Structure formats: C-alpha cells, structure tokens
A and B are shown apart, each in its own frame.
Chain A
C-alpha cells in the first residue's frame, strides 16, 4: 500500500481527531468523512499505518490516558472514567479490566505504591531512553556476550 502526500496527511489528521476525548464523540465514519476517505479505505489504511484499527486506537489512547491519571493518584476512578470520555463507569471498568488484567482501582493502588510523591507519575511508568537496562537481572549482558563469542 502506498500512502502519498495528501492521503498520508489525512491519516495523521484522523489520528489527532481520534485522540480527542471531548463530547460529542465522533463515530469512526464521522472521522473518515472529515478527512475525506471512504470508511472502508480509512480503516484499511489506518490499520496499515498504525497497526490497529481506528476504533482500537481510540480505546488504547483512552486507556493510556486513564492509566496516567490513575497513576497520579489524586483522581477517583469515576473522575478518570469521565475525563477519558466514557459515560458509564461499568463499561469503563469492564474494558479496563479486560484489556489490562486488573481493575482501575487495583491498578491505581499498585502503581501508587511505586511512588512516594503525591500528584506525580511514578518514574517506573515513564522510563527514559535505554534506562530500562539498569533493571535487567545480573549478568544479562555478560551472558549475551558469551553467547556471541560461542556463536
């Protein structure tokens, strides 16, 4: 698939629109119409460029935002649910739990325990470039080098 200039620019615009969480929430067909791509091609092209359908992208974006807000600690689960564009606490909690394997309140408790500073996101949730290697088990690199020498 080839996405040349204008087609590519429209897909990027659509991605920005799908990030918006305000009301009223446009349907996927609305977003496709706004960027002047047929719904069929829109879903196909979006998935090829971003690895998920527009609908999945919107859900991921909202759950990511929900995780960030929960990690900050000062918002209730209900506040977070409304803030990320869900109107039903039940469907928000069910979706969160299904996708992430724990309830919003369990997630909030667990990640809050990682930080001593209220109102900030625990550092472990936003690793900087390559800092993860500091958390590897002892000799992770020694083993890799040895394997290379044997190969």
Chain B
C-alpha cells in the first residue's frame, strides 16, 4: 500500500488548473475528460514525480457545504512544505494571491495561509 494520490476539492477545474500551475508552479500530469468533468492531476517540479495531487470537481452539495464552512472558519484543507517561506510569500503576494496569515512562527514550523481561489485555504510550512 502506497500513498500516490491525494486530492483537493476545487469549485471550478479550469480555474484550479490555472492557479495550481501558473501561480503555484506545479506541473500538470493528467488532464483526461471523464463524463461531465475531468481527471486532472498536478505534481511538484521539486518532486516526488509520482506523488500526484488530484484537482477534484467539488460538485457534491455535501462536499461544498464542508468546504465553505472550513474556509469561513479559516481552516486550511492542505499543507505544502517549502524551503523559503518568506520568498514564497513575497512571490505569491506579487502575483495577487490573498493570504489570511503571513509567515508566522508556530512551534517547530513557520507557517502561512492563503486562499487558492477555488474555495480552499492552503497552508505553507517551513520546518524551523
């Protein structure tokens, strides 16, 4: 048993693909039409290449309620590790990304939180 896929619900798959590739800098790996939606995955150019993040259509009303409630409560639904959190904060802010928390020390990490424009808050963290 291996962890090869993880997923994030997005309100609109085109918008999500743009944000996760053009703004965050991930690489698109799959983009395959499936019925009304698409199977879209991205990987990080910093590796590992076989660990994919699925950009899932948030079409289920129950999932939408969950996503909106977590967002309104300020709770991130995914976390990505970075090696230069100050640099990422500056780079993403310059591209218009909205942060709800600037880089802040918290125990063993420095973390920051931003909106992914698709209904989620995402946490960046850098181990201290």
Contact = CB atoms under 8 A, between A and B. Distances in A.
Give the interface size bracket for B toward A: 35 or more
Nearest to B43: A148
B93 A126 contact: no
Interface in A1-42: 1-4, 8-9, 12, 15
A12 B34 contact: no
B30 to A, nearest CB: 7
A89 interface: no
Given A127-B37, A130-B7, A8 B100 contact: yes
Interface in B75-127: 93, 96-100, 102, 115, 117-119
Interface stretch (A72-80, A90-98, A135-143): A135-143
Given A130-B54, A136-B34, A51 B15 contact: yes
Interface in B19-39: 19, 29-30, 32, 34-37, 39
A127 B100 contact: no
Interface residues of A, number: 33
6 contacts: A2-B98, A50-B119, A68-B61, A124-B35, A125-B59, A130-B7
B96 A48 contact: yes
A133 B52 CA distance: 13
Contacts of B61: 68, 126
Interface SS of chain A: helix
Contacts of A125: 36, 59
Interface string A39-60: 0000001001111100000001
B59 A3 contact: no
Interface string A108-151: 00000000000000001111111011011100100011001001
A106 to B, nearest CB: 14
B39 A132 contact: yes
Given A129-B56, A148-B49, A124 B36 contact: yes
A109 to B, nearest CB: 15
Nearest to B116: A51
Nearest to A121: B61
B100 A4 contact: yes
Most B CB contacts (10 A, CB to CB) among A133, A137, A151 go to A133
A121 to B, nearest CB: 9
A49 B57 contact: no
B75 to A, nearest CB: 12
Contacts of B50: 145, 148
Nearest to A51: B117
A23 B97 CA distance: 34
A151 B49 CA distance: 9
